[in-house]
Structure 1
Amino acid sequence: MRLSTKSRFAVTAMIDVALREAQGPVALAAISARQHISLSYLEQLFSKLRKEALVESTRGPGGGYTLARAAQAISVADIISAVDANGASTPESEDAVDGSSLLTHDLWNNLNQKMVDHLSSISLRQLMDESRAKGAHIDVRPASKRGIFAQRDTKPFKVNAPNSVFALGAALATSR
């Protein structure tokens, strides 16, 4: 199993989705802004995660991604193998094995198996709990409102002009 930046970003994004899942589908743009990961890169990762049935997508305003299974049923190994096409590469899968690699073949196979076993034992739920324990901040409302019904945030303003002809006359009389 290969641990790469792609794997790290996928696990980070999946934790983000899992933490915010109770609020509905999570938009990739929001994940991108929070985690500082390129939106196009996230689209590629979530395409692979969706093909492996780890996430489900919802289209339209208010759409995004949700977990396809319970967080307890998704392991870190599942996420990594979904996004890394060469995630399960072992010396056995190589075409040419020379004499020097045969000497360490068992060592690397055992190490790979231990790593797979360890990552399989860590669930997305455990990572969520650790993130919450470390004080992960979760917004109560979505990071951005989208769609045709989105309302602008308006700031109240103070009017300094008189509100009637009589008030205008009184203001002019006192200013002289």
Structure 2
Amino acid sequence: MKISTKGRYGLTIMMELAGKHGEGPTSLKSIAERNQLSEHYLEQLIAPLRNAGLVKSIRGAYGGYIISKEPEEITSGDIIRILEGPISPVDFTEEDDPAKRDLWLRIRDSIAGVLDSTTLADLIAFNGDKELDSYMFYI
């Protein structure tokens, strides 16, 4: 399974909104500018996230979007499934070799496990950890 720009940019939107959680609405324009993405494309991605109940839209001059739950309650798996569909590395049928089918199921379950155990709060904390960028190696 290859995660497309829908999934990657959807995670970007949600991380931005989660990072501003409790501060009021954030416009897609500001998210697009900060991440050098197409605002028009982000508008297409926000609709399924809103329809699924992960974000709320706020109308008005100072409107935008907010996440509808706490960052700890939304997993990357929730977002990927909404934007990409079911998680599966390959399409397989019941007629496939049982050993191969077992392999594909274990891979699928491993991917789902990582996505479902990683919340927006985890992603924000990891993204905000500046020490990761400042490793110094001495030889």
TM-score by length of 1: 0.66
Alignment-mate amino acid for residue 120 of structure 2 = L
Deviation larger for 17-26 or 62-71: 17-26
Tell whether 2:65 aligns with 1:82.
no
Distance 1:36 1:42 in 2: 11
Tell whether 2:57 aligns with 1:57.
yes
Aligned with residue 117 of structure 1, among 107, 113, 117? 113
Distance 1:48 1:101 in 2: 36
SS of residue paired to 1:47? helix
Please give the residue correspondences for 1:4-153 in structure 2 after superposition, counting only pairs within 5 Å. Answer: 4-84=4-84, 86-89=85-88, 97=93, 103-134=99-130
**What do you get for the CA RMSD once the two structures are aligned?**
2.3
Gaps of 5+ in 1: 136-176
Distance 1:33 1:90 in 2: 33
Distance 1:37 1:101 in 2: 43
Distance 2:111 2:102 in 1: 14
Alignment-mate amino acid for residue 82 of structure 1 = I
Alignment-mate amino acid for residue 119 of structure 1 = L
Show CA shifts across 1:28-70 (max 9, x none): 0000100111111101111011111111110111000101100
Show CA shifts across 1:80-123 (max 9, x none): 11111x333576x76xx496666522111110111101111111
SS of residue paired to 1:23? coil
Which structure has the bigger radius of gyration? Answer: 1
- CA drift at 1:18: 1.1
Structure 1 runs of 4+ with >6 Å offset: none
Question: Number of paired residues?
Answer: 131
| Equivalent residues of 1:72, 1:124 under 8 A apart | yes
Distance 1:51 1:72 in 2: 20
| Equivalent residues of 2:25, 2:63 under 8 A apart | yes
Gaps of 5+ in 2: 132-139
Residues 81, 2 of structure 1: alpha-carbon distance in 2 compared, 3 angstrom cutoff:
farther
| Equivalent residues of 2:89, 2:107 under 8 A apart | no
SS of residue paired to 2:20? helix
Distance 1:125 1:38 in 2: 25
Distance 1:124 1:8 in 2: 13
Alignment-mate amino acid for residue 57 of structure 2 = S
